[in-house]
């Protein structure tokens, strides 16, 4: 519970940071707004065609009587819309980060510098950073799709599908949303995706405390745009908690032996320990 509260605290700290730096907040809303327009159009189309998708997926119910045919296809249509909403919540962040990659890199660096002990900028060309980000986002999407299928099937279980499954859906969305948002800051610290996932699993309460409230905020379309810059700033602060005292110049390098503890070399070329 303490970790959950800490994660929520990082979310609010990020929003406060961008509120104090209005220029970053304004520019940060532009990629989110562009992405939002595309997603609203896609979800609208999904809602309009959900009934046809339900009919296509259940040809065996063509000759069912009322009310069973309506109940089945209504449930299928609702499940399709719910799955689309789940995927949109998670993938929205990934797409927004790709659209606004140069900006969010700068925002992350500025937050790091304002807090001190900022890592060095990775020496990678822009196209390479985009490729790595796209690959990592696709990997996350595959994982989300796997959980989405399980949750979709769980939705048909009586009672559980209407109570436990929605809660699990929010938790899954919140966790992977945190994975996506912290990716920018953790990539700057040269932490590979497999290790990022391990870090966030080890601090699951922290990840859920940051991500789940953000998922709820993202359910309101315009609030998504307003919250996105602060979410990136807060995720940077959270990454500093996961990997504290980072100096990217030393990342992955073996620690040098302290000179005070190093063996002294005698005149004969042999090592002798000093006190």
pLDDT > 90 fraction of the chain, expressed in percent and rounded: 22
pLDDT mean across residues, the chain: 80
User: If you write DSSP's letter for every residue of 5-66 in order, what string do you get?
Assistant: HHHHHHHHHHHHHHHHSHHHHHHHHHHHHHHHHHHHHHHHHHHHHHHHHHHHH-GGGTT--T
The Cα–Cα gap between 118 and 110 comes to: 9
Q: 158-168, pLDDT tens digit by residue?
A: 777 778 888 99
Can you give the residue range of the structural domain that contains 177?
A: 2-247
Determine the longest span between alpha carbons in the chain, in angstroms: 99
* 66 in any annotated domain: yes
* 216 in any annotated domain: yes
* 254 in any annotated domain: no
* 275 in any annotated domain: no
Tokens of residue 25, six digits: 């907040």
* 176 in any annotated domain: yes
**Domains of the chain: total:** 1
Q: 45-75, pLDDT tens digit by residue?
A: 988 888 888 888 888 877 887 788 788 888 8
Tokens of residue 208, six digits: 């859920």
* 261 in any annotated domain: no
Band (pLDDT 50/70/90 cuts) for residue 175 is very high
Q: Does the pLDDT of residue 256 top 60, yes or no?
A: no
* 130 in any annotated domain: yes
Considering only CA atoms, which of 190, 168, 97, 195 is closest in space to residue 137?
A: 97
**Higher per-residue confidence, 92 vs 128:** 92
The pLDDT value recorded for residue 245 is 63
* 266 in any annotated domain: no
């Amino acid at each position: 519970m303490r970790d959950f509260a800490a994660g929520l605290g990082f979310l609010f700290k990020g929003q406060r940071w961008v509120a104090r730096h209005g220029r970053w907040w304004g520019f940060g809303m532009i990629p989110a707004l562009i992405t939002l327009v595309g997603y609203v159009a896609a979800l609208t189309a999904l809602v309009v065609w959900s009934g046809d998708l339900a009919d296509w997926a259940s040809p065996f119910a063509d000759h069912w009587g009322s009310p069973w045919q309506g109940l089945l296809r209504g449930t299928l249509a609702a499940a399709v819309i719910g799955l689309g909403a789940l995927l949109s919540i998670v993938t929205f962040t990934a797409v927004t980060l790709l659209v606004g990659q140069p900006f969010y890199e700068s925002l992350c660096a500025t937050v790091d510098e304002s807090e001190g002990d900022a890592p060095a900028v990775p020496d990678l060309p822009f196209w390479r950073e985009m490729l790595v980000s796209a690959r990592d986002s696709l990997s996350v999407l595959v994982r989300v799709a796997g959980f989405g299928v399980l949750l979709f099937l769980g939705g048909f279980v009586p009672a559980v599908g209407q109570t436990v499954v929605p809660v699990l859906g929010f938790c899954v969305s919140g966790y992977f949303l945190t994975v996506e948002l912290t990716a920018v800051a953790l990539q700057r610290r040269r932490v590979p995706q497999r290790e990022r996932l391990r870090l966030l699993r080890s601090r699951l309460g922290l990840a859920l405390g940051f991500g789940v409230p953000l998922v709820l905020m993202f359910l309101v379309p315009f609030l998504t745009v307003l919250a996105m810059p602060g979410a990136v700033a807060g995720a940077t602060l959270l990454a500093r908690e996961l990997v504290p005292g980072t100096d990217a110049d030393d990342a992955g390098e073996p620690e040098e032996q302290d000179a005070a503890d190093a063996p002294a070399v005698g005149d004969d070329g042999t090592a002798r320990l000093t006190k």
